[in-house]
Amino acid sequence: MRRLGLTAVLAFVLAVFGLAPAAGADPAPAALTFSTSSATTTPGGTVQLSMTLTNNRTYDIWFVYQSIDPTWLTTQRPDLKYSFTGCSLATAAGATPCSGTGPSNLGGNYGATIPPGQSRTVTLTLQVAADSGCNGNIGFYSYYYAEFSDSGNTNGGPVYTPETRVLCA
């Protein structure tokens, strides 16, 4: 009986001080990544901002909500003029127009179900106005929420996008 008590105390001490074997870390249930078609643009130019949502779980993603908003520094530039002029979803049959409520709320745009191990990519077209100010960064942040077929969910954010530098011509 005394050996059992000593073994329990030793196991407890090892666990508290991190000497017990650690469990392997699971990948994020859903991963959101960003890319741009170009690191720079000029007034009057366009840049494609792509967001890829990957399902890393063994269950389907049934529902996705994602918002995308400009960073605080981007909103503080009154001379910086831009807008999202297009949105498309990459599918096996080619690109299709987005079906969500718009470029700031992208949830519905990822399509219906995302099976395990698969990804969906939504691409927004960022148009910089011809009379826009120069030498400013256009940065965005995003939050997302995904629900899985096993009734699990995950969320993340803020996720910061790559910044696009607007250069004078």
Encode pLDDT of 26-40 as tens digits. Answer: 567 778 888 889 888
Is residue 8 domain-resident?
no
Would you say residue 19 lies in a domain? no
* Sign of the Cα pseudo-torsion (34, 122, 118, 158, in order): positive
The whole-number pLDDT of residue 112 equals: 65
Q: What is the pLDDT of residue 20?
A: 41
Residue 162 sits in a domain whose CATH number is 2.60.40.1530
Give a yes or no: residue 87 inside a domain.
yes
* Residues counted in the chain: 169
Q: Which domain holds residue 76?
A: 24-166
Distance of CA 159 to the CA centre of its chain: 6
pLDDT over 50 at 5, yes or no = no
DSSP of 39-108? SEE-TT-EEEEEEEEEE-SSS-EEEEEEEEEE-HHHHT-TT--EEEEEEEEEETTEEEE--SSBTTB-GG
HSE (CB half, 13 Å, CA atoms) of 110? 28
- The answer to whether the bond into 70 is cis (omega within 30° of 0) is no
Q: Which helix (H) or strand (E) holds 5?
A: helix 2-16
Q: Contact 76/114 with Cβ under 8 angstroms? A: no
For residue 98, being part of any structural domain is answered with: yes
User: Within a domain: residue 11?
Assistant: no
For residue 107, what pLDDT band results from cuts at 50, 70 and 90? low
In a domain, 76, yes or no: yes
Number of domains in the chain: 1
Instruction: Decide: 123 and 50 in contact? Cβ < 8 Å.
Output: yes
- Confidence (pTM): 0.74
pLDDT in tens, 44-67: 999 898 888 898 889 898 888 888
Taking only the tens place, the pLDDT of each residue in 72-82 is 888 888 888 88
